Amino acid sequence: MLTERISPRFVDLDSWSTADMTAAMYEGQLLACAAVKPALPFINAAVDDAAAALKRGGRLVYVGAGTSGRIAVQDGAELRPTYDWPAERLVFVMAGGMQAVVTSVEGAEDDDDKGAQVIAEAEVSQNDVVIAVAASGTTPFTIGALRCAGERGAVCIAVANNRGAPLFALARHKILIETGTEVLAGSTRMQAGTAQKIVLNLFSTAVMVKLGRVYRGLMVSMRATNAKLLRRAQIIVSQIVGCDENAAAQFVQRADGDVKIAVLLALGWEQNDAVEALLRHEGSLRGVIDELAREK
């Protein structure tokens, strides 16, 4: 596996100057970014398949171990505050349990039966989207989890950094990001981890856009649950509707912090009508506004 090999270029890394060392690491990060581009068609296919399943009420299930698992958990954890993605539609399958996010649980990644067990206990089904991430693509826990998810009919997506990874044999969507040898042999928190984070950023953001949780580049599905988000909600409503921020604040308050409802209230809708319209358009604010424009 390339991610485990020693690169001849970096065998004397520990004797380099700080400037040379960080420059080499920086170049590795740029290479990680470039490695994502060939995977874009495969990411696109996974996004479309995942969005269709999630529209049927499915859940997002993130699977991983070690560094890859932590990166996967981070991506999923950010969906609720950014897009108001429901907590009950988010599942984390982490080798060693969620404590392994902050504390290494040695040996947990070697248990393929445990990976399958966690998937079965989560009652993963055909409408769920399972994203399994492993730099090597050989992690037993992750393989066991994805195998079980596939047997249960889920949309299975594999993200790995080594060509021919066994994990790919179990996935409907295979996302290969060939980041090559690492600056530190085997330290996949470097290039491999960076590329994984980019792939997950692209995937989850595109899925949320497809699900109508973004309008005109704005996070219209976020909930104003603290002072910072309340301020952001007011700005979003003001930008979309063209009203001043004081008026936007009143609409946000009337909508109990729901940005989409606040926008429609500002456009003259009654609250019940706004709720019904959004339900009719599967939560898409663009769909509702386009319908309004056609009726004028």
Q: Which residues are catalytic?
A: 78, 109
Full 3-state SS string of the chain: CHHHCCCHHHCCHHHCCHHHHHHHHHHHHHHHHHHHHHHHHHHHHHHHHHHHHHHCCCCEEEEECHHHHHHHHHHHHCHHHHHCCCHHHEEEEECCCHHHHCCCCCCHHHCHHHHHHHHHHCCCCCCCEEEEECCCCCCHHHHHHHHHHHHCCCEEEEEECCCCCHHHHHCCEEEECCCCCCCCCCCCCCHHHHHHHHHHHHHHHHHHHHCCCCECCECCCCECCCHHHHHHHHHHHHHHHCCCHHHHHHHHHHCCCEHHHHHHHHCCCCHHHHHHHHHHCCCCHHHHHHHHHHHC
Pair of tokens at residue 181: 């040898």
Residues in the chain: 296
Full 3-state SS string of 27-94: HHHHHHHHHHHHHHHHHHHHHHHHHHHHHCCCCEEEEECHHHHHHHHHHHHCHHHHHCCCHHHEEEEE
Backbone angles phi, psi at 104, to 5 degrees: -60, 130
Bridge partners (DSSP) of residue 45 are: none
